């Protein structure tokens, strides 16, 4: 694995990019949000989340708020980001960010969904991949967005911690969306990472790194399902190097 633990976060050096998958450790939050909760839309104290985001920025190498992100709605919209959100450019509904900025990072927040990070010589992208975005085509759209902002060049991908095939149970209506993939595990379980990896290959991404960690059975991470909906948010972050 190209990723290593650094300040309780998974850090990897991809070609032309620095990638970080945060964990639940290394922050200041308490209770069900202990300790590096990055989600403002939780019941955690906003000042704790602000400090946690500041710490994440130190690990990534860009100060908060130089991060590109949107309001995630389990959709397939990927913003071609020319600047981070601000009072002049408010947050809109987006489940992915692609950018050529050298002074900002792309980020998505997760608590079981799969964070997919993309790196190319001229840009980076971060995608929030639950089953709905994967079924809707967010991976192909993310690759397309990165090529638009970075130019036609080789792309490398990294798959982060998420609910994996060992734990992630879904109904037949969800399995039906992925019948063409070798992603069913046993009677009910679905391997989202296997779906994403195949979709990346179909989109022309030949190199896919996978941390192979499950948020549901690994207590180092927040998990919406394991913690019955009361939990924090971790992130997948990538910036140009």
CATH 3.60.140.10 fits 3-240, yes or no: yes
Q: Are 30 and 17 in contact (CB under 8 A)?
A: no
Q: Are 240 and 16 in contact (CB under 8 A)?
A: yes
- Confidence (pTM): 0.98
Name which of 56, 7, 22 is nearest 211 in CA terms.
Answer: 22
Q: Measure the CA–CA gap between 77 and 186, rounded to whole angstroms.
A: 32
Q: Where are the domains of the chain?
A: 3-240
Q: Measure the CA–CA gap between 26 and 238, rounded to whole angstroms.
A: 19
116 forms beta bridges with 127, 159
Q: Are 48 and 27 in contact (CB under 8 A)?
A: yes
Name which of 75, 68, 109, 65 is nearest 91 in CA terms.
Answer: 68
Q: Are 60 and 74 in contact (CB under 8 A)?
A: no
Contacts of 164 (CB under 8 A, 6+ apart): 191, 192, 193, 212, 213, 214, 215, 216, 217
Residues in the chain where the model's pLDDT stays below 50: none
Phi-psi region of 151 (alpha: psi -120 to 50; beta: other; left: phi over 0): left
Tokens found for residue 5: 């633990």
Phi and psi, residue 135, nearest 5°: -65, -30
Contacts of 30 (CB under 8 A, 6+ apart): 48
197 forms beta bridges with none
Tokens found for residue 29: 């939050």
| pLDDT value of residue 83 | 87
| pLDDT value of residue 90 | 78
Name which of 198, 118, 202, 127 is nearest 153 in CA terms.
Answer: 118
The H-assigned helical ranges of the chain are 46-60, 131-136, 138-150, 172-175, 192-202
Tokens found for residue 213: 């960690």
Q: Are 71 and 92 in contact (CB under 8 A)?
A: yes
Q: How distant, in Å, are the alpha carbons of 36, 143, 164, 200 from that of 172?
A: 35, 29, 17, 24
| pLDDT value of residue 84 | 84
């Amino acid at each position: 694995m190209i990723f290593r633990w650094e300040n309780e976060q998974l850090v990897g050096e991809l070609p032309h990019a620095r990638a970080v998958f945060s964990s639940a450790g290394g922050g200041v939050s308490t209770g069900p949000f202990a300790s590096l909760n990055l989600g403002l839309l939780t019941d955690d104290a906003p000042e704790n989340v602000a400090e946690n985001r500041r710490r994440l920025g130190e690990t990534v190498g860009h100060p908060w708020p130089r991060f590109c992100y949107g309001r995630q709605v389990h959709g397939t919209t990927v913003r071609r980001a020319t600047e981070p959100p601000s009072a002049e450019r408010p947050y809109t509904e987006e489940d992915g960010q692609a950018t050529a900025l050298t002074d900002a990072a792309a980020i998505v927040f997760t608590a079981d969904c799969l964070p997919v990070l993309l790196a190319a010589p001229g840009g980076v992208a971060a995608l929030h991949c639950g089953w709905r975005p994967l079924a809707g085509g967010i991976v192909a759209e993310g690759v397309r967005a990165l090529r638009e902002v970075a130019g036609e060049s080789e792309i490398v991908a990294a798959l982060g911690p998420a609910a994996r095939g060992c734990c992630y149970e879904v109904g037949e209506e969800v399995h039906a969306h992925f019948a063409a993939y070798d992603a069913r595990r046993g009677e009910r379980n679905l391997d989202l990472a296997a779906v994403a990896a195949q979709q990346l290959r179909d989109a022309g991404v030949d190199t896919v790194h996978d941390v192979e960690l499950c948020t549901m059975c690994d207590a180092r991470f927040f998990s919406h399902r394991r913690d019955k909906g009361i939990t924090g948010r971790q992130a997948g972050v990538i910036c140009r190097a």
